[in-house]
Structure 1
Amino acid sequence: MVTMTNDPLAPTRMAFGLLCLAALATSTAHAQSGNAASAAPERSHKLGWQACHAMGNDPTAQLACFKSWAASQLPAGSEPNVATAPANAETGQTSTGILLLPTVNTEAPDGKKIGCRDQQYSALSRFWELQRGSDCDTFGLRSYRPTSVAWVGSDSVNNQPSSPSAGHTVTTPFNYKRAETRLQLSVRTKVAKGLLTSGTSDDANSDSVWIGYTQQSYWQLFNGAMSRPFRTTDHEPEVIYIYPHQIDLPGGWKYRLSGLGLNHQSNGQSLPLSRSWNRVYLMGAVEKDLGGDASLSLQGRVWQRLRESSGSDDNPGISDFIGRAEVAGLWQLNKIHSLGLTVRHSLKSDARGSVKLEWMKASTAIANSASLRYHVQLFSGYGDSLVDYNRRRNVLSVGLSLVDW
């Protein structure tokens, strides 16, 4: 209730009182803001960034809280990395400092930049990581043989697989179709490096040990009458030691590597379809730079089957059919096209073995990486699968392959 008075100074006294109350309120607000800002670091240490986020009604205190929390995340004894913007040209005042996050480490433990895709190194060097500069380090998953899916058509299909071993011949023929689908998965990883040779320069040679695995399946996708079974699946684990070289040869060729491998291959079937063998092999490879994106490479392998007792041998004489040696050549015409030829030979007068011719084409949209490719392949001979080790087949396949990923 307002009481009226005749005092002429009453309005002046009332205005002065209101000014005093306003000043007192402002002083109290500043004091509370200062207390909140000073308490922010303590709360940010105890509760983390959530405490700072809850202070949205006081931007000054919230900013101080976030700065304190960010500083608390740094290792003990280190200082925040703060960049200061240049002074404003008009006002002459220095801009507010910016807190920079720590940089991500992109180096391997030995200080070398990580990456085995450097195009300054040759295809063989990148594939087998023959030099320190083309090293991808250990236990990384890489491609080995192409990972592919393909339609397959052949001149015959093995409806009654057989082997000279007792109990290894199918008595009731299957009703397989000649058209089927082939699936292949192939991966590898490097488990050791620098065992016998290494260096500090990027061009230094580095030997390595690899573990690889390849799985190939023939799937009767178009055989609805048999419920589309997998006709056969071969499993092929192996261990490979690679020793690098940089030996110049006549004609611009260069000898790049020698290798020693131990290979097991089996189809995991029970009798009468069980097939398996073990072998040890030696390998070597050369290459030639043709300029631009073109190159030639040749890789040779010769192997010896590890002996098995007659009672445990699923496939006697397998080396006389599949072969004892192979030479694989690759002509990389450019980033888009490549041609491959693989020849296997029994190294006997009967000259059994196989020939495989393959053309691959990368999509022009992904030519710089060229990992996914269309492929057309023609195979003629023995051993396109273990169950067919002693049966000659001509096989045409068309599909997609994923290489060098």
Structure 2
Amino acid sequence: MKKLIFVALFLFYNLAFGADKLYQKALEFEANGDKENALKYYKLSAQKSLNLDAKQPPQTTTLKSDELFWGISAYHLNYFMPLSYSSPNSLKKSISSQFQISLKKLIFDDLLGFDERYYFAYTQISWWDLYSDSAPFYETNYQPELFVEIPLNYPNLANLKFGFLHDSNGKDDELSRSWNRVYVAVDFKLDNLTITPRVYKRIPDKKDDNPKIQNYKGRGDINLDYHMDNGSIFKAVFTNNLKFDKTNKSSLELGYLYPIKNGFYLYLSGFSGYAKSLQSYDKYQNAINLGIAFTR
């Protein structure tokens, strides 16, 4: 009799309700500790959903989950920080604003048979005196980049990455700050945590307008990215010049992203160290920033 009642209810829900209602019913069973019936309704919800999807007309073009438009996706964080406090004051005023745009585009893939992917990326960070009458830009740093990413089939090893990175403030003469480097990085994945150590080598310039920039900007860094169960993201970047004596210099940047809606986050970050911007790469600076970010 009990099985007959269940079959009747099963058929009733299948005919009368959509996949979302069936899913809600499964959640109710699970909340009450009835895992057997919960599993049956989860399966029924999936079947119903697949049947509905099968009736939908085929799509000619679809976006990948991380794609923004035209095959372009986010690279590093994209953010706008209307409140940015710095001390010592290296940008003329202690309170200003800053924003970053960072995108990448797949150029081609699997040329060598390793499932490798070749990308062009572009990152721009600008410091903007939003609160002055004329709202001038203090500084903008530009970072075009080419890199190849090779997937690794080893436990906890996700990708090996080789790249070329140009870094410039777009100015000339005595205000010019630019340098080129090549790097190698590897992604370690441990559940929700990704650890990416990277080392880089400067390509010598005929005209050096950044004497000893690697002593301040560093010769390597470690990126940490931890996705919490509530949807929040914790980020950390530690940079060091790899000189283990009194000339050792480093920087640390911490960031916390709290989800708002549709991929947008409330973003709080702090920085302490050298080379936050190219113009003042040899000046020590502390900063705290608050704003909005999005990432895919």
TM bracket (short chain): 0.7 to 0.9
> Does 1:320 pair with 2:251?
no
1:230 to 109, 117, 137: 137
Which residue in the other structure is 1:22 paired with? none
Across the aligned residues of Structure 1 and Structure 2, the Cα RMSD in angstroms comes to 2.0
5 Å-filtered alignment, 1:370-381, equals 371-381=263-273
Q: Is it true that 1:146 corresponds to 2:77 in the alignment? A: yes
User: Aligned residue for 1:264?
Assistant: 166
User: 1:342, CA displacement in angstroms?
Assistant: 0.7
Contact kept in structure 2, 1:139 and 1:191, CA below 8 Å: no
Structure 2 partner of 1:187: 103
Report what 1:298 is aligned to: 195
Task: Supply the AA of the counterpart residue of 2:135.
Answer: R
Deviation, structure 1 residue 116: 4.0
Q: For the Cα contact (< 8 Å) 1:177–1:223, is it kept in 2?
A: no
Answer with 385-394 or 326-335: which moved more: 326-335
CA distance in 2, matches of 1:195, 1:383: 37
Counterpart for residue 215 of structure 1 = 124
User: Is the Cα contact below 8 Å between 2:216 and 2:275 reproduced in 1?
Assistant: yes
Where does 1:313-352 land on structure 2 (aligned, <5 Å)?
313-348=208-243, 349=245, 350-352=247-249
Deviation at 1:223, TM superposition (A): 2.9
Q: In the aligned structure 1, how far is the partner of 2:164 from the partner of 2:230?
A: 33
Q: Which amino acid aligns with 2:251?
A: S
| 1:397 maps onto 2:292 in alignment | no
2:237 counterpart of 1:359 = no
Alpha-carbon separation, structure 1, partners of 2:173 and 2:88: 23
Deviation at 1:180, TM superposition (A): 0.5
Q: TM-score, normalised by structure 1?
A: 0.56
What is the Cα deviation at residue 157 of structure 1?
A: 2.2
* Partner Cα distance (2:135, 2:278) in 1: 20
CA contact (8 A) 2:174 2:209 kept: no
- Determine the C-alpha separation between the residues in 2 that align with 1:297 and 1:335: 17
Distance in 1 (alpha carbons) for counterparts of 2:249 and 2:70: 38
- Determine the C-alpha separation between the residues in 1 that align with 2:136 and 2:174: 17
Displacement of 1:105 in angstroms is 4.5
C-alpha contact (below 8 Å) 2:90/2:285 kept by paired residues: no
Supply the AA of the counterpart residue of 1:276.
S
- For each residue in 1:352-381, what CA deviation from the matched residue of structure 2 results, as whole angstroms up to 9, or x when unmatched? 121001110001xx3xx5x21111100001
Q: What is the rounded CA distance, in whole Å, between the counterparts of 2:119 and 2:286 in structure 1? A: 33
Runs of 4+ in structure 1 deviating by more than 6 angstroms, as ranges, are: none
Per-residue CA deviations over 1:179-219 (Å, capped at 9, x if unaligned) read 10101111110001122236xxxxxxx21000000011001
Query: Distance between the aligned counterparts of 2:148 and 2:221, measured in 1?
Result: 18
The TM-score with structure 2 as length reference comes to: 0.75
Distance in 2 (CA, whole Å) between partners of 1:105 and 1:336 is 30
**Runs of 5+ consecutive residues of structure 2 not aligned to the other structure:** 1-55
3-state DSSP of counterpart to 1:282: strand
Would you say the 8 A contact 1:285–1:299 is kept in 2? yes
In the TM superposition, residue 103 of structure 1 has moved relative to its aligned partner by 4.7
SS in 1 for 2:252: strand
Question: Could you tell me which amino acid in structure 2 is paired with residue 341 of structure 1?
Answer: A
Structure with greater Cα Rg: 1
The count of aligned residue pairs is 237
Question: Quick check: 2:181–2:202 contact (8 Å CA) kept in 1?
Answer: yes
1:156-171 equivalences in 2 (<5 Å):
156-158=88-90
Asked if the contact 1:344/1:353 (under 8 Å) is kept, the reply is: yes
- Which residue of the partner structure matches residue 286 of structure 1? 188
Letter of the 2:212 counterpart: G
| 1:275-294 Cα deviation digits (max 9, x unpaired) | 000000001001022xxxxx
Report deviation, 1:228: 2.4
**Which structure features the higher share of strand residues?**
2
The superposition leaves residues 23-72 of structure 1 with CA deviations (integer Å, 9 ceiling, x where unpaired) of xxxxxxxxxxxxxxxxxxxxxxxxxxxxxxxxxxxxxxxxxxxxxxxxxx
**1:274 maps to 2:176:** yes
Identity of aligned residues (%): 26
